[in-house]
Amino acid sequence: MTNREKLQKVVELLNTEKANEAQQLFQQIIPAETAEYFLVKGKLEQKFQHWSEAINAFTKVLEIEPENTEAQNQLHIVQNILNFWNPEMFNP
């Protein structure tokens, strides 16, 4: 199985809520300096709530492909999650 096929399989596993299997398969992939690799890495890190790693991966995608709308959207989602503030949380 090629790296590209493994990346596609990781995405399929993430889409079917099999994150642990996706993570195991991703660890078998040889790291590559491609937008596709970092996009999948970002989605995987996001799934496990590793926010800084997800931001780094999506930012790397945008360095490689500045017009990548999927990376832009995913980065925006992570930033919204981190910026979420619920005033009721602090109201005793």
Q: Residue 57's closest CA among 26, 25, 13?
A: 26
Structure pTM?
0.84
Q: 26: Cβ–Cβ under 8 A, 6 or more apart, which residues? A: 6, 10, 40, 41, 44
**91 has a pLDDT exceeding 70:** no
Q: How does residue 92 score in pLDDT terms, banded at 50, 70 and 90?
A: low
Q: What is the pLDDT of residues 14-71, one digit of tens each?
A: 889 989 999 999 998 888 899 999 999 999 999 999 999 999 999 999 999 999 999 9
Rounded to an integer, what distance in angstroms lies between the CA atom of residue 2 and that of residue 52?
A: 28
**76 has a pLDDT exceeding 90:** yes
Domains of the chain: 3-85 (1.25.40.10)
